[in-house]
Amino acid sequence: MQTKTLVPSLLAVALAAGCQSNPSKEDWGATLGAIGGAVLGAAVAGDNKWLGAAIGGAAGYYAGRAIGRHLDEQDRKALAASTVEALEQENAGVASWNSDRSGASAEIKTGEISYQSEPKQIKRLSTVEAVPSIKLENRQYETTSALRVRAGPGTRYGIITTLETGDVVTSAGRTDNGWLMLAKQGVTMGYVHGDYVQPYNPVQAAQARGIDLDSEQVETLPKQEGFAGIDLDAVETSSSTVTAQRGCREVEISVNTDKGTEQETTQACQKPDGVWELG
């Protein structure tokens, strides 16, 4: 049975463009392994605009460089997704990408992250403490247990609200002591420690609930939103300036096709919204 979806492809959920395919459950599994759980999971969520921008930018980079000249559009997008996932890793490392469709492959080596500091204006609930600095990120997490959201990055701060196991939240940044600054529509809602969340992957979440991906539209896969009951129009907010640490790192990319091997070394840096940008 083919997937009943209005979205042309998995990556098109984030990119709003792409190949015209209807993946089966087996295809989902193969793509999940090829692209990577965190990236694919966020792409399938369909509303993660920063991820769409990151993948779209990386695909555009490959389209305009010699290193991507022998890849078609579908392979460039898949490689772009793997590149974004590699850049999102905190430590230096090596990632691999392979296309079962075309036989193309790539190796992505990322160096250690160096940080550049700059002031950033943030909006927060008036009951939430300002922090002096954060390392920028913009990603979705799922809680692994019931969790108290604190007014500051530590257990000594008061409780703002609570989250249930499986709630999906967005982190705008990470403090030096490992707490995540959670945000909703650009407003800081409070802090939770990073030990009690995991990267959100809606494909795995849907499978864990026994959902038949062959009969579900991608857009309607369920997501248990954290802070869903909070109306930001009805709460008091404040603004403050935080020192935002934007990461930069060297990236070495090697692409193999039936035309040969192309290699390139470039710099990737985070933009003010946390999106990684190549070149």
143-183 pLDDT, tens digit per residue, is 999 999 999 999 999 999 999 999 999 999 999 999 999 99
pLDDT higher than 70, residue 26: no
Average pLDDT over residues 72-86: 88
Residue 252 has pLDDT above 60, yes or no: yes
| pLDDT at position 37 over 80 | no
Average pLDDT over residues 231-250: 94
How far is residue 227's CA from residue 110's CA, in Å, rounded to a whole number? 35
Residue 48 has pLDDT above 60, yes or no: no
Residue 241 pLDDT: 95
pLDDT at 101 over 50: yes
Q: At what angle do helices 73-88 and 49-63 cross, to 10 degrees?
A: 120
> Angle CA(136)–CA(118)–CA(151) in degrees, nearest 5?
50
In the chain the beta strands, taken as DSSP E runs, fall at 93-98, 105-110, 114-125, 133-143, 147-150, 159-163, 168-174, 179-184, 187-193, 197-199, 237-257, 260-270, 276-278
**Which tops the pLDDT comparison, 189 or 88?**
189
93-98/105-110 β-pairing = antiparallel
- pLDDT confidence of residue 217: 56
pTM above 0.85, yes or no: no
Give the whole-angstrom CA distance, residue 54 versus residue 64: 16
Instruction: Give the pLDDT band (50/70/90) at residue 215.
Output: low
36-45, 102-111, 126-135, 268-277: the lowest-pLDDT one:
36-45
**Can you say whether residue 166 is alpha, beta or left, with left for phi > 0 and alpha for psi between -120 and 50 degrees?**
left
pLDDT at 199: 85
Residue with tokens 């991820």: 51
Lowest mean pLDDT: which of 160-169, 196-205, 230-239? 196-205
Mean pLDDT of the region 230-246? 93
pLDDT computed for residue 49 by the predictor: 61
SS3 52: helix
**In this predicted structure, what is the pLDDT of residue 213?**
61
Q: How confident is the model at residue 65 (pLDDT cuts 50, 70, 90)?
A: very high
pLDDT mean across residues, the chain: 80
Q: Which of 135-139, 158-162, 197-201, 271-275 holds the top average pLDDT?
A: 158-162
Asked if residues 107 and 77 have their Cβ atoms less than 8 Å apart, the reply is: no
Work out the average pLDDT over 64-85.
90
Tokens of 18: 């792409």
Instruction: Please state the rounded mean pLDDT for residues 206-218.
Output: 65
Residues 6+ apart with CB under 8 A from 234: none
Mark 163-177 as b/e (b = at least 16 C-beta within 10 Å).
Answer: beebbbbbbbbbbee
Q: CATH says 115-200+219-243 is which class?
A: mainly beta
Residue 59's identity, in one-letter code, is A
